[in-house]
Amino acid sequence: MSGHVEDYEVLNVIGTGSFGTCYKVRKKSNGRLYVWKAIGYGGMSEEKKQLLVSEVNLLSGLQHPNIVQYFDRIIHKETATLYIVMEWCKGRDLATLINKCKKSSSFLDEGFIWRVLYQMCRALQECHWKVPNVTILHRDIKPANVFLDEAGNVKLGDFGLARILDNDASFAHTLVGTPYYMSPEVIKGGKYNKKSDIWSLGCLIYELCSLSPPFTGPNIKHLSVRIEEGKNHRQNVTLAG
- What is the smallest separation between the CB atom of 226 and ligand 430, expressed in angstroms? 26
Of 93, 140, 158, 197, which one is the catalytic site residue?
140
Q: Are 163 and 139 in contact (CB under 8 A)?
A: yes
Of the pair 122, 226, the CB lying nearest ligand 430 is at 122
Half-sphere exposure of 214 (CA within 13 A, CB side): 20
CA torsion, points 120, 124, 125, 126, in degrees to nearest 10? 110
Backbone angles phi and psi of 90, in degrees to 5: -60, -35
Kindly list the residues in this chain that would bind ligand 430 in the complex (CB under 6 A): 14-17, 22, 35, 68, 86, 88-89, 92-93, 144, 147, 157-158
Q: Which residue is nearest to ligand 430 (CB)?
A: 15
- What is the smallest separation between the CB atom of 59 and ligand 430, expressed in angstroms? 9
List the Cα angle 66/71/74 in 5-degree steps. Answer: 145
Q: Are 57 and 49 in contact (CB under 8 A)?
A: no
Of the pair 12, 170, the CB lying nearest ligand 430 is at 12
Of the pair 35, 164, the CB lying nearest ligand 430 is at 35
Is 109 one of the catalytic residues?
no
- What is the smallest separation between the CB atom of 14 and ligand 430, expressed in angstroms? 4
Q: Which of 232, 217, 165 is nearest to 196 (CA)?
A: 165
- What is the smallest separation between the CB atom of 150 and ligand 430, expressed in angstroms? 10
As annotated, the active-site residues are 140
